[in-house]
Amino acid sequence: MDWQDLIFKFVGGLGIFLFGIKYMSDGLQKSAGDKMRGLLEKYTSNPILGVLVGISVTVLIQSSTGTTVLAIGLVNVGLMTLRQAIGVVMGANIGTTMTAFIVGIKIEEYALPIIAVGAFFLFFIHKKRYQYIGQIIFGFGTLFLGLGTMGGGLKPLRELPAFTDFMIELSHQPVLGLIVGTVFTMIVQSSSATIGILQTIADEGMISLRGALPILFGDNIGTTITAVLASIGATVAAKRTALVHVIFNIVGAILFTILLPVVYNIVLWLGEGVNIRMQIAYAHGLFNVTNTLIFLPLIPVLAWIVTKAIPGQMQEIQFKAIYLDERFLATPAMALGQAQHEIVRMGQYAYESLQDATGFFFNKDTKSAELALQKEELVNELNRKITDYIVKIHQKGLSPGESEKATGWFQTVSDLERIGDHAENIVELGEFRMTNKLELSAEAAAELKEMIEVANQAVNKALVALEQNDKDIAKEVLQLELKLDDLEIEYRKNHIQRLHKDLCSVGTGSIYLDLLTNLERIGDHSKNIAQFVLHE
């Protein structure tokens, strides 16, 4: 037996197969538009909708792991609740069976012409839409080319007694099969890939359907590792979502392994007259659909279990708009008042993002950086929602005075969003400083801390003036903004002197100047808000 040929074909085939899935997935995402996140946010109000959305998104991106990680990300930043995410995770597990059904179609001999068609679209048609279609076709063909290469490489294993004995043992030892499937998927980090390999091995006659089923169930456990990794360092809610994914798949795998004889007969009945690759796809679909039907009514119980298992106070960063009720649009003046409340909330989070960002810059606490970026992302989300809401208010009709006021609120929303952007810039400067181990001189650090204190005061007072319509506080903001301008000029001169005396490196100096610029611009946005209050 030529071991080198076997290993090269298996490893190379696996690489081609993984590339095919990824490339096809990317094409599907691009052609579907960047709507997956919005789909997850908007249409997960109840568990059944969550399951349907989870299925749809996973079919679109061809990765249950991708959907689960996306759900964890949304929970992490407060755009989705734990219960909503549980439904999405269940749906993602059903959606991922699509890949197994694709693999179940035995068309390896047509892989090269399919790739050729995809390449034609990619290289000879310059419209983006057709290029995305070409990417999907190319990835689809590459997927089967990888399967064919792997299958060709693994064929000689049929003649190896040790391998055939091990496969026979797997048929008699379901728990061993469960462990093999789990470990292999943890290593590869793609259940689609390991199930594809399992289908190929079974198709070559190396393992029976009964022996393949426990490995299949183990693959579903192994795929949870990526979600677990994605939740490391995330919020308590995100960790709980990852644990739901683990419980869902482990309990399902144990249950199906215990009921293996029954499951085996059902799969034989469902897949009567089809090839073993498609039978494994049927088994994969049966596992996830049945598991979802079992757990769907138990979502509150699942939520309770993971809450007890991972104790801790969930950080309340629920940035779903709480004041923007569509029913108020019937009375535009009242709706505008609701929008004002939401803008004040948005401003508070922009302010907190700035505080977290500046805290990270000096303390190098990565948790503060994560919080700053989470809040900045949610400020962006509220910006979109508030802007859409005010547009709808305009469409309902406003008096000239109200219309002018609404235009001013538009600008205020933009200023608050820009303060959040500057907070993100400060986080990036802090990360650059940490990565390159750049230290500020004591004098430079003291200057920055003073300017940060003034910038924080300016933003805070601008928000108080906005909320209370206090013109006296708004005037204080204008004074603080002037002070920021003066400090920036003074500190730039100080910095040049330090450079001349070789007291500061060029790398540290560039960070210092960038931070000065960001703080000065934060003052400008605070001034804009204050002027809006003064002219109301």
Residue-level pLDDT at 235: 66
**Residue 317 belongs to a domain:** no
Residue 319 lies in a domain: no
pLDDT at position 41 is 59
Q: Are residues 89 and 179 in the same domain?
A: yes
The reply to whether 253 falls in a domain is yes
The pLDDT, as a whole number, for residue 357 is 92
Whether 497 and 421 share a structural domain:
yes
Where would I find the beta strands (DSSP E) of 147-301?
none
d(CA 509, CA 516): 11
Cβ pair 222, 186 in contact under 8 A: yes
Q: Which domain holds residue 124?
A: 3-309
Q: What does the pLDDT read at residue 162?
A: 73
Same domain, yes or no, for 333 and 267? no
CA pair distance 261, 459, nearest whole angstrom: 67
Same domain? For 212 and 346 the reply is no
State the pTM of this model.
0.60
Q: Closest Cα to residue 72, out of 266, 325, 306?
A: 306
Q: Are residues 216 and 275 in the same domain?
A: yes
pLDDT on residue 126 = 82
Do 120 and 264 sit in the same domain of this protein? yes
Return the SS3 of 365. coil
Structure tokens at 505: 């490196």
Token pair listed for 396: 């309902």
Among candidate residues 284, 309, 334, the one where a domain is terminated: 309
Q: What does the pLDDT read at residue 35?
A: 56
CATH number where 472 lies = 1.20.58.220
Cβ distance 65 to 193 under 8 Å?
no
Rounded Cα gap, residues 253 and 265, in angstroms: 17
Residues (pLDDT < 70) of the chain are: 1, 28-45, 60-66, 69-70, 73-74, 76-80, 154, 157-160, 163-164, 167, 170-171, 188-190, 226, 230-235, 312-320, 502-503, 505-507, 536
Q: Indicate the residue among 276, 309, 342 that finishes a domain.
A: 309
178 belongs to a structural domain: yes
* CA–CA gap between residue 131 and residue 125 (Å, rounded): 7
Query: Are residue 332 and residue 479 in the same domain, yes or no?
Result: yes
> How many domains, in total, are found in the chain?
2
Does 315 map to a domain?
no
Boundary-marking domain end, from 309, 337, 359:
309
Whether 10 and 150 share a structural domain: yes
- Shared domain for 261 and 352, answered yes or no, is no
Write the single-letter amino acid at 245: H
Q: Alpha-carbon torsion 50, 223, 288, 138, what sign?
A: positive
Residue 231 lies in a domain: yes
Per-residue pLDDT at 27: 76
In angstroms, the CA 523 to CA 480 distance is 8
Instruction: Give yes or no: residues 119 and 199 share one domain.
Output: yes
**Which of 378, 315, 389, 369 has its CA nearest to residue 345?**
378
**Is 342 part of any domain?**
yes
Confidence at residue 17, expressed as pLDDT on a 0 to 100 scale? 79
Residues 354/422, Cβ–Cβ less than 8 Å = yes
CA atoms of 478 and 534, how far apart (whole Å): 10
Is 62 within a domain? yes
Residues 355 and 273 in one domain: no
Q: How far apart are CA 415 and CA 405, in angstroms?
A: 15
* Same domain flag for 172 and 258: yes
Structure tokens at 37: 């996140």
Closest-CA residue to 361 (of 416, 451, 461, 430): 430
